[in-house]
Every structure is written in structure tokens, then in C-alpha cells.
Amino acid sequence: MHIFFLRPLRFAALFALTLAVIVLCPPAPVFAQIGVAIMFGPPPIPVYDQPICPGDGYLWTPGYWAYDYDLGDYYWVPGTWILAPEVGFLWTPGWWGWSGEGFVFHEGYWGPHVGFYGGINYGFGYFGLGFEGGRWDRGHFFYNRAVLNVNITEMHNVYNTTVYHENVNHVSFNGGNGGIEARPRPEEIAAEHDRHIPPIAAQTEHIQQARSNPQLRASANMGRPPIAATEKPGEFSGHGVAAAKAAGGTYTPRTNARAGSPVHPHDLPAVEHPALPSTGNQKQDHKNQQEQDKMLAKQQQERDKLQQQQDKEHQQLAKRNADDAARQQVEQRHQQQTQQLQQKHQQQQQQFQQQVQKHSSPSRK
């Protein structure tokens, strides 16, 4: 199931958004993070095979959906094997959680214990609670071959323990409509107080490479990325790359708008601030500029208000599992509302420009 929500403003306008603080569990405020709330959830976790472990000391970091604020789209960060930054450290995956006003991403980290990661089933040992893919013992990492892909002819620090878990869905976020309802356990809360290491350089470079690949955007791959996992970070081609076998669930693009045909206010070009002609009077010019700024600010507020109204209707459609015909009818109405608002704003701007031009200095005409 796909949830239609609000796309955030472009990067230049991000500062106008309210910073949302997630406190999914009031008794455990240590899990709160500050970030810009995204009003639509990521696609489901895709189905893919794990590349073979490249060598001793590599730990698995599962793939996840990240968000590109400039494009207003999620993109897949492929799962990959990473050398642990310290002996005894494990990876806690990042996760998306509903704050009450939007989704905010909790960044993953390295630490001596695996903390809370939203209850998301990322697979390969990360089934929602802790990590069952291996353990450290006397300075060496031992791999559970029941859930991790290791070459036992070359690596002997392995064991085989069958893991029983319920894999009922591939939901990729916690809370909100249709999200995972897991809450942190006491040991996960305690893990938050450990010493942590943020994603290392190899991971951040891996993320940036994923962000720059158009094929990994959700709108392009429909929730089934062609590069779902890699043997090593940043190696997006070759025998060590695994493509998704299937999407984790039905994914519908956020909007089916044609290019040049805005459906929602967030599809419109950014509000411009055109230069005004001089009247020859400095005070009048300053007043005109203030009036224009006020008018444009009000127009942006009207855009935001209409977007919020349309987002609520999207949520209602999702709650009742509306069919494609009902969704299309709503989208057509949204397109009409958006275009009417755009025409209204264009007329206001033209009238204001004409008014200023009428009183401008003749010597400057």
C-alpha cells in the first residue's frame, strides 16, 4: 500500500518548515531526533539476495530508503558489507518514524550493542528486534550462516543457528498510517547510552553515490531498485551487485502529473520575486517592495494550505483503500484546484506590476 502525502518544499525553503522532534516513546526521550518532517512514507523494503561476505571483519548494513529533499523523492541506498570501525561494534540501522506531523529519519550508528531501529524487518539478521546474524567473541566476529551469506570454505568463524521470525510484511517505517507499531525494549533504550560512532566515510560515500543514481529513485524503479545490494560499498556494478527480485509491496508514484501540468501546489514552480520598476521616490519604492513581499508570502501560505487540504484527502483515500478510479477522480479535482490557484496568483502579480508601472517615474520608463 502506498500513502500519498505532502512533498517538502525545495531546499531554499526548508528553513520555513517547522523542525519536528520525534518522541515516539515518551518514556524514552533519548530516541528523539531533530529533522525536517516528510509527509509521505517510504516504499516497502524490496526483496533481494545478499551478496557474499567479502572477508573476515565485514558486517552487513541493510539497504534502506533515504530521501532527496531537492528532488522530493525517496531513493534506495543498497545494502552492503562494511568493515566494522572497531572490534566489538555492531551496526544499528537507521529508520523512519512518524512524529505526529510527518516522518523523520533516525540515522544509524555503530556501537557495542544494537539499539532500536523502529521494529523494521530489514532481513539478514535484522528482523526488527536486535541482530541475529552474528556475534563478537574474543576479538573476532562469528557469522551465523543461517541468515548471512558467507563462504565457509574460506571463513571458518561461523556457526549455524536457525532463526524463527515472522515476516508478514515489508513495511519500512514506524508509526503513522500502516506503519510498524514497535516500541523500544529496555535493552534497546540502554543501548542509546553507549558510546556511538556515526556512519563512517565509506558509508557516506556509498549513500552519496546512491543519491546521484537516477535508477535508484523510487519514482523510477517503482520500489524495485536495480541495485538492491552490493558486496562492498560504492561498487555499483560487477558480479558483487544484487538486483531486487521484487518490490516489497505495491508502490504507486506520488503523483501521475504530466510534465508542465501541475496536479498539486508542490508541483508548481517556486514563487519568484521579480524586480519592481523605480518610481523615482525611494520611500515609495520601499513601500512597493514591502507590499510585493507581503503579497507573495500570502500566496505561499495559500499554496501550503491547499497542499495540506489535498494531503488530508490523500490520507483518507489510503485509509479506505480507494480504487484507482476514485484516486484518479480526486487527482483531477486537485489538478483543477491547483491550476485555478496558479491563475489567481498570476493575475494578482500582473495587476500589482501594472499598478507600480503606472506610478513609476516617466524618466525611467
Are residue 155 and residue 292 in the same domain, yes or no? no
100 and 133 within one domain: yes
pLDDT per position in the chain (365 positions), as tens? Answer: 333 333 433 433 333 333 333 333 333 333 444 345 677 889 999 999 999 999 999 999 999 999 987 788 899 999 999 999 999 999 999 999 998 878 899 999 999 999 999 999 999 999 999 999 999 999 999 999 999 999 999 999 999 999 887 656 899 999 988 899 999 999 999 999 999 999 999 999 999 999 999 999 998 999 999 999 999 999 999 999 999 999 998 876 664 333 345 778 887 888 777 788 888 888 988 998 999 999 999 999 999 999 999 888 888 877 787 766 677 678 778 888 888 898 898 888 888 888 887 766 554 44
**pLDDT for the residue numbered 260:** 43
Q: Exposed (0-12), middle (13-18) or buried (19+): which is 92, by Cβ within 10 Å?
A: buried
- Tell me: do 112 and 215 sit in the same domain: yes
Q: Report whether 231 contacts 80 (CB < 8 A).
A: yes
- Do residue 215 and residue 277 come from a single domain? no
Burial class (CB in 10 A: 0-12, 13-18, 19+), 175: buried
Cell of 148: 548471512
**How many domains does the chain divide into?**
2
**Does residue 151 sit in the same domain as residue 292?**
no
CA-to-CA dists, residue 158 to 29, 55, 83, 88, angstroms:
37, 12, 17, 16
Q: Is the residue at 102 inside a domain?
A: yes
Cell numbers that stand for 213 in this block: 543514481
Question: What helix, strand, coil percent values describe the chain, rounded to 5?
Answer: 30, 20, 50
Cell 525517496 sits at which residue?
A: 74
CB 64 within 8 A of CB 77: yes
**Angle made by CA atoms 153, 157, 158, in degrees to the nearest 5:** 80
Gyration radius from the chain CA atoms = 25
| Residue 261: per-residue pLDDT | 58
194 and 313 both lie in a single domain: no
Question: In whole angstroms, what is the distance from residue 301 CA to residue 17 CA?
Answer: 12
Provide the total of helices (H) and of strands (E) in the chain, helices listed first: 5, 16
The x, y and z cell numbers of residue 281, run together, are 521616490
Is the same domain home to 222 and 85?
Answer: yes
The predicted pLDDT at position 361 comes to: 54
pTM (whole model) above 0.85: no
